[in-house]
Amino acid sequence: MLALVVPALWLEHNGGEPGAPAPAVQAAPSVTGLKALVAPPALPESAPRQPAAASPAYLGAVTVLLALVGVVRLPARARGFWLGTLAVTVALAMLPGALLGRAGIPQRPLGVMALAAAVLAAYGARLLCERMPSAGQQRAVGAALLFLVMLALVPPAARRLPFVRADEAGLPSPIPAGPQTATTRMIGLLGMLPPDIGATLGLADVRAASFPREPRYTSLLGAGRAGELSVSRALDPRTARLAAHWLLEPLPLRVVSGELFARIEPVELHPREERSLDGLRRYATDVPPGGCRLGLPTGAPGALWLERPGRRSQLEPDEALATESDAWRWFAVPPGWPAGPATLALPGGKRDAGPQLVAWDSSGLRLAREERGVRVWEWDLARPLAFVATGLQADGSGTPAAGSVVTVPAERLQALRHLGGGPGGLVEVVASAPARLELKVDIPQAALLVVQVKHRPALWRATVNGKRVASERVDLVWTGVPVPAGPSRVVLRARLPLAVWLPACAGLVALAALAWPRRER
C-alpha cells in the first residue's frame, strides 16, 4: 500500500499548477453495512440502472464462504498478509466518504478487497477439491463451485449494467453525416495523451475537462466542459503557443479547410514599372505572418515565383483547399519563408499589364497527410519544443505579437529583464523522454531558455552545466531556464523527492520479505 499510495498522493498534490486550489472531491458511495458486502440489495424492476448513492461493493455469499474455508488451507505467513489486507480494505469500505476525502483517499479500495477475497476463496476451493478421492470428483466439485460463484455474482452485476432505455434507442449519432451539416466543434482531438507527453510530441491536448488542478492551462485552451474545442479556437494563435503543432480533422467534415477559406484575404497587386528581361511580370507584395499558401484566380498563368533578395522559389501547387472553391488555384509557400516584403513573378512581361488579384492564407496550416478518413494539418505557427526567448512581457499584457516573445509573472519581470531582448541562438534537443530532457544551447548573451514542459518546480528540476538552477514560469504554463552566454548543456529531470521514495521502498521491502521462502521447523 505504501509503495502505491505515497507517490500517488504526492503527485496528486504537486502534479498540478503551483498554487492551484484542490478540486472538490466527490464523496465515494457509502456501504450500508457488512450485509451489503455479501449480497447487494435487490433493485426494483422499474429501475434498470444502479442509483448513484448505492455502492456496488459486494463479494457474494459463496465467495465469502469459500474465503472462510481458505483461511484454513492458506500457509501461516500468507494467511496473515491476506487476512490483514481484507480486514483493512473492508474497514476503509465502511468509512464515511467525507472522512476518506479528508484523508486524501478519493476512492474506496474495493478492487484490493475483491482481490484479497478472491485469493482466500481460491485456497478454499482448492481445499475442497483436494478432499475428493478421485480426479473426476475433483473436477465435478470445481465446476459446481464455479457455477455457484457465477450464480451469486453475475445476476446482480447484470442488473447494474447501464442498459439503454427503449426511449433512448433511436437517438441520432452526434457526428454529422456530411459537410452540409458541418459543425463548429472538433471531435476527439488526441484526448488520450497526458499533458506533458502531448506537449513533448507537439500534439494539441484538448482534455481540459480532466485538468482539475490546471486552471491556467484550461483557461488558455478554452475547451468546453466535455473537452471539445471549437474550430475558431483551435485555429487561434494562442492555441499555437500551447505547443499545438498538429491538428486532426475527421472526414467528411472538412471544417478546418472551410474555416481557413473563410479567413483568406484577397489582395490586389500592381505591377512594377520596370523592364522584364526573363519574360516575367513582377508585383510587389507583403508575405503576412504565417503565410503558407497563395491563391490565383482560375485562368491565371500556371506558374508562380516568390522572390526576395538572395532567394527565389517556384511555388508548387497546393490541393488542400481545392474542394472549397473552383474560382482559385492554390500554391504552397515554402516552409520558413520570412514574413515581409517580397516579389511575386508571373509569366508574361508586358509593360501594360494590369493589376493582379491574389489571395493570401496566413493560417500557417499545411495539409501534411490524408489517409483513412482523417486529414492531418501541420501548423507553422507552433513553436518548437525549446527555444530562446527574444523578449519578455508581463502576464496579462496581451498575447505577444512575435512568436519568441514570452510572458512572465509581473513580479518577476524586473529581475528577468536582462534575459530578454537578445537575438536568439542555437538550441538542439539531444535527448527527449517523458521524464528527462537534454538540450545543447549556444547563445551570444544570457537569455531565458523556454521549454514547453509544464512548470512543476516540485517535480521537474533543471541543471545548467551540471549546476542546479531555479526555473521560471513562462507564458503562464511553460518552464523557463536562465542560461548564460556561450555553449551550455541544459537537463530537465522529473524526480520524486527522497521523502516520497523512502516509504515506497519500505513497502516494497516489506512485500519482498513476506514473499521470501522460509524453511518449516
How far apart are alpha carbons 424 and 475 in whole angstroms? 17
For residue 344, the model assigns a pLDDT of: 92
For residue 162, the model assigns a pLDDT of: 59
342-358 burial, b at 16+ Cβ within 10 Å, e below that, comes to: bbbbbeebeeebeebeb
How far apart are alpha carbons 210 and 192 in whole angstroms? 11
How far apart are alpha carbons 207 and 215 in whole angstroms? 12
For residue 174, the model assigns a pLDDT of: 40
Packed helices 61-73 and 135-159: angle between N→C axes, nearest 10 degrees? 140
| Residue 346 half-sphere exposure toward CB, CA atoms < 13 A | 25
pLDDT, tens digit (0-9, with 9 covering 90-100), for 205-232: 444 556 778 888 888 877 766 566 677 7
Domain ranges of the chain: 31-164, 179-244, 266-379, 386-498
For residue 165, the model assigns a pLDDT of: 58
For residue 300, the model assigns a pLDDT of: 79
pLDDT, tens digit (0-9, with 9 covering 90-100), for 171-186: 444 434 433 333 322 3
Asked whether the whole model's pTM tops 0.75, one would answer no
Q: Which helix (H) or strand (E) holds 182?
A: none
How far apart are alpha carbons 404 and 406 in whole angstroms? 6
Per the listing, cell 455457484 goes with 148
Per the listing, cell 512581457 goes with 393
CA angle, corner 436, sides to 430 and 442, nearest 5? 35
For residue 160, the model assigns a pLDDT of: 64
Report domain 386-498's class: mainly beta
For residue 207, the model assigns a pLDDT of: 42
Find all residues with CB under 8 Å of 167, minimum gap 6, and list them. Answer: none
pLDDT, tens digit (0-9, with 9 covering 90-100), for 27-57: 556 666 677 777 666 655 554 444 444 456 6
pLDDT < 50 stretches in the chain: 47-54, 171-207, 521
CA angle, corner 397, sides to 392 and 399, nearest 5? 75
For residue 468, the model assigns a pLDDT of: 95
C-alpha cell at 127: 481445499
Question: Are 271 and 282 in contact, with CB atoms under 8 Å apart?
Answer: yes
